[in-house]
Amino acid sequence: MKISVKTLLIFSCFLISLQGAFSQTIPSYVSAEKRKLQYPDDKYLTGFASAVIRKTDIVEDVQKTLLENAKTYLVQSISTRISSSATLNTENHNTKTLEIFRQVSTSYAQADLTGLKVNEFYDPKKKEAYAFVYLNIQDFLSSTQNTLNMESAQLSKKLGTASQLMKAGNRGEALKTYLECFPLLREMEGQVAIVLTLGKPEIVAQYGAFSDSVSRAVSLLRTGPRTSMDDLCFFIADGIKQQIPESFKDRTIRLSSFTYMNTGMGSKFSAHLSASLQPKLTAEGFAIYTPDQSAKDNRYPWALTGTYWLDGKNLKIIANLNNEKTGITIASIEDYLPLTWLTDNGMDYLPGNYQSAIKLEKELSSNEIVNSGLMVKLWTNKGLENPVFKQGEKMQVYVQADQPCYLRLIYFTADGNKWLLKDSWYLDEAKINKPYILPDVYTCTPPFGAEILQLVAQTEPFKKLDTEVSGGNTIILGDDRSAIEITRGMKAEKSNLLIAEKRINITTLEE
């Protein structure tokens, strides 16, 4: 058989291209050490995801998912930095800086990822796919500053309109316009929190001037101070109703438990506030929705969240109506409740173990593991956002991971104990990428207060902890820091280990 020169050339080119496809240079970002050196944390925000390609997988689909996961990791790294700064700033004496961080947990920072660099790679030999995204911090700060400038212009215009209405004697419309400034302030707070966290403290003055103007105007126009819980809840419900757009016809929302500052901690007061607010919202035409946590039900994305803190002789309360999918705030309201009302009603606004709980929160925030390439989620039958359990109520725990992994679940109790709920519990291939309910059910019993549910997941079994069994519970011995360091220590020893962590602040109440 004769083979033409042309056929040989075509065949040679095919072999060369095939060899090239299987001898691609593996990008440096695949290695955790090289990634860290090339994109240091002080200069870049990064997100990395990887997966082994199974026989049933379509490479393009896996890579698309990995890219979305990498972007999620990057945004989570921003959120983690903000949360850590917020936790560390709870003792900050700069009033406006502290105010921003006090409410950062309820002010969702919708990160503008303009300038995001995207990289994808597939290794056909190892059957592994990778996605890596990064942002230059200075570029990100410039983009965030531009967003703040636009929001400032919007707010200035709205304040001007409200001022003209007030001068014309139209107090009702003026109050409505000033109330419409609150969602813009919440959006600005998210941007300011990013800028503060990444190192530009001078931005606080710009935000503070707007915040003071709106608060002073609303104080002048409202019909008297709130002297009771009933008055407060009516003002919140009415203020939220006034701000929602006509397009928001289905007023089905989820009512979240309000928390003390940015801590995620509730109290007897926050539980009473939620219970008192619900009928007021219903009277204003809202339907309160309880999602099916077993299915991660997201039919209705709107949630009313809130925070509060001590402000002179009052508690300052902020409520926000947010879209949990987009992060958009469409309504927000601020008001005060005199501390004398709490005293007269025997109502605590702090958990009894607040000091020890905030110390633990700071320890968990320090060197928190983010962006490792393993995606995990954690929630309870009462959700993931600051759930409150009363004595006798049952708690179930849900997890979800995008890769097979081992789980360690630790429960930090109000009296300082550490219960090891699960250790090296394996989540196999059949359970990934879907909600999985852990088999045990836990009952809310004393002690009561601020508690933390901590999940750590990794792709290898965990090192053993020093434990003892007491009263049917496995108790971790030693101090909190030692338990945390042992659990996180594997990452430093093995560069190819994937590890991730999540935690939920839980409030337990006697009644």
Q: By the 8 A CB rule, do 90 and 101 touch?
A: yes
Q: By the 8 A CB rule, do 27 and 130 touch?
A: yes
Which pLDDT score is estimated for 33? 81
pTM for the model: 0.80
Which pLDDT score is estimated for 406? 95
Q: By the 8 A CB rule, do 75 and 172 touch?
A: no
Task: Report the run of H or E that residue 478 belongs to, with start and end.
Answer: none
Q: What is the pLDDT along the chain (511 residues), one digit of tens a residue?
A: 444 544 544 444 444 444 444 446 889 888 878 888 999 988 998 988 888 888 888 888 888 989 988 888 888 778 777 776 666 655 554 455 555 555 554 444 445 677 899 999 999 888 889 999 999 988 888 888 888 888 889 999 999 999 999 999 999 899 989 999 998 888 888 787 777 777 666 666 667 778 888 888 888 887 666 788 999 999 999 999 989 888 787 789 989 889 888 788 899 999 999 999 999 999 999 999 877 666 555 667 888 988 898 888 999 999 999 887 777 888 999 889 999 999 999 999 999 899 999 888 888 877 777 666 788 889 998 887 778 899 999 999 999 998 899 999 999 999 999 999 999 999 998 898 888 999 899 999 999 999 999 999 999 999 888 999 988 889 999 887 777 777 776 555 566 788 888 899 999 998 7
User: How many other CB atoms are there within 10 angstroms of residue 231's CB atom?
Assistant: 16
Which pLDDT score is estimated for 428? 92
Q: By the 8 A CB rule, do 381 and 291 touch?
A: no
Burial 186-196 (b: 16+ CB within 10 A, else e): bbbbbbbbbbb
Cα–Cα distance between 52 and 391 in angstroms, integer? 45
Which pLDDT score is estimated for 105? 47
Q: Give the tokens for residue 227.
A: 């002297």
Cα–Cα distance between 230 and 232 in angstroms, integer? 5
Cα–Cα distance between 443 and 18 in angstroms, integer? 60
| Cα first-last separation, the chain | 91
Place of tokens 């929190």: 193
Distance of CA 223 to the CA centre of its chain: 36
Q: Give the tokens for residue 332.
A: 């927000």
Q: By the 8 A CB rule, do 296 and 378 touch?
A: no
Cα–Cα distance between 243 and 480 in angstroms, integer? 45
Query: Helix, strand, coil: what percent of the chain each, to 5?
Result: 40, 25, 30
* CA-to-CA dists, residue 62 to 123, 281, 336, 412, angstroms: 13, 43, 50, 37
Torsion sign (Cα): 344, 350, 353, 354: negative
Task: Report the run of H or E that residue 468 belongs to, with start and end.
Answer: strand 467-470
- Which DSSP category does 346 fall into? T
Q: Could you tell me which of 233, 273, 257 has the C-alpha nearest to residue 450?
A: 257
Residue 100 backbone class (left: φ over 0; alpha: ψ -120 to 50; beta: rest): alpha
Torsion sign (Cα): 387, 390, 393, 394: positive
Which pLDDT score is estimated for 112? 65
